[in-house]
C-alpha cells in the first residue's frame, strides 16, 4: 500500500538539502559557535549565514532574528515579553478566538495576571476583517497578536494591513504575528507590514523539528526567559542547536518562492474542493480564498476519529484538527459558530508541494467509499438498538 501523507500542517517530511546540511553540521562543522578556535569560528560563520538568510526572507536584519526551539517557544517569548514591557502603559491585549493553543494558553495566563484580553471571533467562513481588529484596539492596548494563517481552516487574516494603522490608535502597542503556517508560503515583509514580533517554525517547511525563530524588531528589548551565556540577544541563553538551525535555513532556501508555488497549490486545492463537493453530505469549512495548503471539511454523521482511522487504514494520513490540541474538540470551528455535529466530523487536509493530482483523486475516492461504508455501519447500529 502506497502512503499518502496529507497532514503537512502538523509537520512535513524533511527535505534532502536540510538533511545534508544537518549531517554536515553534526560531522564536519560541529564546533560550538561560542568557542574561540577554528572549529568554533567555522560554526559561528554557519550560524551567521543561517540567521542572515532567514532574516532576508522576512525583510529583516540579521540581528533581529532570535532562534528558538519552534513556534510555541517563539509565541511564548513574544507574548510574555510584550506584556511585561507594556504593563506600565496599559493592560489591554487584542487577539482572536481561533489562535493556536500556544497563544491562547499564554493569554489565559496573562489574564490571570490582570490583563484584559479581547478575543475577536471569526465569522462562519473563518474571517475577521481589518476593521473589526482595529475597532477592538484602544489607546491603552499594549499588545496585538494575530495569526497570519489559521492552522485548521487556512483563513488568511489581514495581518499585513494592521501594523501601521494600530500604531495610530495605540502608539505603545507591540504587534505580534504568528506566521508558523505562513512562513515561506505567502509573501511577508516585516518592515512594510509594521510588524514588531513574528514567529516561525522549521518543521512546517520541510525543515527539522526543534528549530524556530522569533523576529524581534531592533530597539525592542524583551526580558530574558533563559539566563546564562547571553546567546540569542540574551533572550534564551544556551549553546545554539546549530544542526537544526542550519537545516531550517536550508529548507527555507530550498522552498520555492510564493509567486511560483502558490498557483500550483491553488490548482491542487481547487481540485480537492471540487471532488469533495461531489460527495453527498460533505460540507467545506475552509473559505475559497484560504491558503491553498489547507482544506477543512465535515461529513456530519461520521465522527472525525472514525473517518480518520478509515483513511489511515487505507494508507492516507490526515488530521481531525490541530496536532497541538491533543484530540480535543476544535476551538477554531467552535469560534466560527459551527454546529456541534459539524465540528465533531471535521477533517483537516493539509498539502505540501509534493502532493500530486493522483493522491488527491485517490483521497476523494477513499473518502467517498468511507462515507458510504461508515454511514451504512452507523445506520445498522441504530436499527440494532
Q: Answer whether residue 82 shows pLDDT above 80.
A: yes
Q: Is the model's pLDDT at 234 over the cut of 80?
A: no
Q: State yes or no: is 324 an active-site residue.
A: yes
**pLDDT of 377 above 80:** no
Query: Cα separation of 69 and 114, whole Å?
Result: 28
pLDDT attached to residue 184? 97
What pLDDT, on a 0 to 100 scale, did the predictor assign at position 108? 97
Per-residue pLDDT reduced to its tens digit, 175-184: 999 999 999 9
Q: Which CATH number fits domain 16-254: 3.40.640.10, 3.90.1170.50, 3.40.190.10, 2.60.40.10?
A: 3.40.640.10
- Show me where the domains of the chain are located: 4-12+257-384, 16-254
Tens-digit pLDDT profile for residues 303-317: 999 999 999 999 999
Average pLDDT on 223-230 reads 81
What pLDDT does 379 receive? 56
Q: How confident is the model at residue 331 (pLDDT cuts 50, 70, 90)?
A: very high
User: What pLDDT is stored for residue 380 in this prediction?
Assistant: 52
Convert 270-282 to b/e letters by CB count within 10 Å (16 or more is b): eebbebbeebeeb
Residue 383 predicted with pLDDT over 90: no
Report how far residue 278's alpha carbon sits from residue 273's, in angstroms, rounded to the nearest whole number: 9
Which of the pair, 267 or 35, is modelled with greater confidence? 267
Q: Selecting from 3.90.1150.10, 3.40.80.10, 3.40.50.10170, 3.40.50.1970, what CATH number does the domain 4-12+257-384 have?
A: 3.90.1150.10
pLDDT(120) > 90: yes
Q: Which residues contact 227 (CB under 8 A, 6 or more apart)?
A: 237
pLDDT of residue 1: 66
The pLDDT, as a whole number, for residue 116 is 97
When pLDDT is cut at 50, 70 and 90, the band that residue 224 belongs to is confident
CA dihedral angle for residue 246, residue 264, residue 159, residue 210, rounded to 10 degrees: -30
| Rounded Cα distance, 72 and 110, in Å | 16
Instruction: Quote the mean pLDDT of the chain.
Output: 93
Catalytic residue among 118, 184, 272, 324: 324
Tens of pLDDT, residue by residue over 238-283, are 888 999 999 999 999 999 999 999 999 999 999 999 999 999 999 9
12-34 pLDDT tens trace? 999 999 999 999 999 999 999 98
- For residues 35-44, give the mean pLDDT: 91
The pLDDT assigned to 329 comes to 80
Amino acid at each position: 500500500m502506497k502512503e499518502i501523507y496529507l497532514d503537512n500542517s502538523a509537520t512535513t517530511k524533511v527535505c534532502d538539502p536540510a538533511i545534508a546540511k544537518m549531517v554536515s553540521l553534526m560531522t564536519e562543522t560541529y564546533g560550538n559557535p561560542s568557542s574561540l578556535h577554528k572549529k568554533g569560528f567555522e560554526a559561528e560563520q554557519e550560524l551567521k549565514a543561517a540567521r542572515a538568510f532567514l532574516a532576508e526572507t522576512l525583510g529583516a536584519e540579521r540581528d533581529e532574528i532570535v532562534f528558538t526551539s519552534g513556534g510555541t517557544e517563539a509565541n511564548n517569548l513574544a507574548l510574555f515579553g510584550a506584556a511585561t514591557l507594556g504593563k506600565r502603559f496599559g493592560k489591554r491585549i487584542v487577539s482572536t478566538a481561533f489562535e493556536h493553543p500556544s497563544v491562547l494558553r499564554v493569554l489565559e495566563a496573562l489574564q490571570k495576571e490582570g490583563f484584559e484580553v479581547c478575543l475577536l471571533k471569526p465569522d462562519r467562513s473563518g474571517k475577521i476583517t481589518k476593521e473589526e481588529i482595529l475597532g477592538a484596539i484602544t489607546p491603552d492596548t499594549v499588545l496585538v497578536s494575530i495569526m497570519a494563517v489559521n492552522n485548521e481552516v487556512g483563513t488568511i487574516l489581514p495581518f499585513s494591513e494592521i501594523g501601521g494603522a494600530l500604531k495610530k490608535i495605540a502608539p505603545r502597542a507591540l504587534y505580534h504575528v504568528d506566521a508558523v503556517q505562513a512562513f515561506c508560503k505567502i509573501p511577508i515583509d516585516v518592515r512594510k507590514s509594521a510588524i514588531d514580533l513574528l514567529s516561525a517554525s522549521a518543521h512546517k517547511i520541510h525543515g527539522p523539528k526543534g528549530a524556530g525563530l522569533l523576529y524581534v524588531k531592533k530597539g525592542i528589548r524583551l526580558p530574558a526567559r533563559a539566563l546564562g551565556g547571553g546567546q540569542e540577544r540574551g533572550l534564551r541563553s544556551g549553546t545554539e542547536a546549530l544542526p537544526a538551525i542550519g537545516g531550517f535555513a536550508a529548507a527555507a532556501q530550498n522552498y520555492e518562492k510564493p509567486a511560483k508555488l502558490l498557483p500550483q497549490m491553488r490548482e491542487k486545492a481547487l481540485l480537492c474542493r471540487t471532488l469533495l463537493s461531489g460527495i453527498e453530505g460533505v460540507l467545506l469549512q475552509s473559505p475559497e480564498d484560504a491558503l491553498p495548503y489547507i482544506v477543512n471539511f465535515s461529513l456530519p454523521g461520521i465522527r472525525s476519529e472514525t473517518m480518520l482511522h478509515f483513511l489511515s487504514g487505507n494508507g492516507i494520513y490526515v488530521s481531525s484538527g490541530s496536532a497541538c490540541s491533543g484530540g480535543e474538540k476544535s476551538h477554531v470551528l467552535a469560534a466560527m459558530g459551527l454546529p456541534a455535529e459539524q465540528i465533531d466530523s471535521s477533517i483537516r487536509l493539509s498539502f505540501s508541494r509534493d502532493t500530486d493530482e493522483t493522491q488527491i483523486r485517490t483521497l476523494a475516492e477513499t473518502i467517498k467509499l468511507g462515507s458510504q461504508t461508515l454511514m451504512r455501519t452507523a445506520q445498522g447500529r441504530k436499527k440494532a438498538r
